[in-house]
Chain A
Amino acid sequence: MSAPAAPAARSTGARPAVSRRRPARADHAQRRAPWLLLAPFLVLFALTFVLPIVYAVGQSFTRVERQGLFGEDGITSRFAGLDNYERALGDPAFVDSIWRVLLFGVVQVPVMIVAVTILALLLESASAKWPAFFRAAYFAPYGIPGVIASILWSFLYLPGFSPIVAGLQALGFAPDFLGPQTVLWSIANIVTWSYAGYNMLIVIAQLKAIPGEVYEAAKVDGAGPFRLAWSVQLPLIRPALVLTTVFSIIGTLQLFAEPQVMRAVSPAIDVKYTPNFAAYSSAFSYNDYGVAAAQAVVIALAAFVLSFVFLRLVSRRDS
């Protein structure tokens, strides 16, 4: 099971009840205390998570009408039913953007997770020299914000500027990192570069939690390194792989900074290249908050459904 689901089970193992006989005043203080401690978090959580979601859902069913040419005669909002959703999903560019990130996710997430797993296993194997150095090198890009990584890579993709493009051209290739067919995978490279090290650390953490006796037993059974990785380590690090996959799926649906920055160098990227980019453009380029809200709701629902389906698929294989 994934980590987020685990503590629910844990919390049912309640702590030993506090002693029964005590003055009423102390009892009262103890009943109040958890809410006092929780209050600031809950208030801000309501303000920045619950209310915006409620507001977005409300907005997605609302149409704003401006009277007069520029709305100078007042603005009225009224219930619009599913109009905004119809308009959002009736826009082929938005639907295309959904398919685009799905294709991206189907390729990039497995490639990254497999690569990360292999790297983690190699780093934790007895055959690796200087594991601490390599681990640090792989993790370093996580400290670079996605937009800055995108600026950096957009320079490295740019013909006439990038030494990588120049080098490949000198070798007789004609690389085109920014064309309509390739730019999606250039973005996939930026995302992988940014997050692989972070995911690798999660997998390594779980590898380190495997008790020494397990390795001992495998050794006694005469398992070689491949056998050890396949039948002992992989099954034991499954929770970490599930966790990283779910977070990667959510991340894929949120893609925004990378395409927004890459648009400056690639004409193949339009303002509706990813669902999130489309929602941003609806709100700020077209001032169409109703459709933007509907798009945001669709993205959040998709993230939720995909994560849920994935968790179900994984847990079915368990039983």
Chain B
Amino acid sequence: MIYKKDANFPYPILTNSSFDYEESEFYFDIELIENSEYYQFVIETTLTSSFIKTLLDLQKVELILIVQAKDNKFYPLKGLNDIIFIPKSRVSLNKRTTLQLQIRAKAQINFSANHELSLFYIQFKDKMNVEKNGTLGFSNIITFDSSNKKSYDLFEKKVDPNLLSEIKIELSTETIVIYYRNEEMQFAGLPHPINNLYVYMGLRTALQQFVLLFAEEGDECVYLNDINTPEEGLYLKLHQLMKQKGVEEISMDNLDAVIYQISDHIITKFTHTVRGLEGSAI
């Protein structure tokens, strides 16, 4: 359970509002990266108590991330700063989603080594114990506020009746251009996703080119953290998109996996659209 209100525990507790410790701060901040599969929470914690920090190092207590939406989910952290991956199927982010860190005892904790307590408690510290699973502290609360979609102008279409093939994919400096021999092929007026197959083909073409351009000599793989950020144009957009979606490496072998990671169900949306049209054909 997340602690939203103060209450009197039968032992000292480390929070941002209690005076049980002489000095007591327990804050955390998060950054979030997401792709079609999971959320990646990057967590940074500020904790003033060296007593608790020592217990964490000794693994006598654990730091737990609690994500409360419809129900509570618990994710132990490996340290004050950690990255937690949560599949999108496991949590939903909405206005009611609330997060908090808590410190929980993994075994009975004695307070005799705790010199940070306030005057009242310090006189009893040798005799004070917190049982296993007891909460030793809780942090500030972080609530989900809003999400903004940023789209990328990656694709252009053109009609060219003189095309030698039915369609043609070309990479320009800013975009992936799909040429159609006639405008019927563009399905104007039908739901967008019906063009997703072309988008997929275009994306694959552009990513292949990305690998060819950015792989080190003798290497078949591009490590996105190692290369210089492309300066402008199409490759900059692709680079940003991949970085934002948590892609670390790309090669000829994982192109489809990368497309899946950086996009939102291109083929599923195509399938639903076609099925929908089939269902409403009258």
Q: Tell whether A pairs with B.
A: no
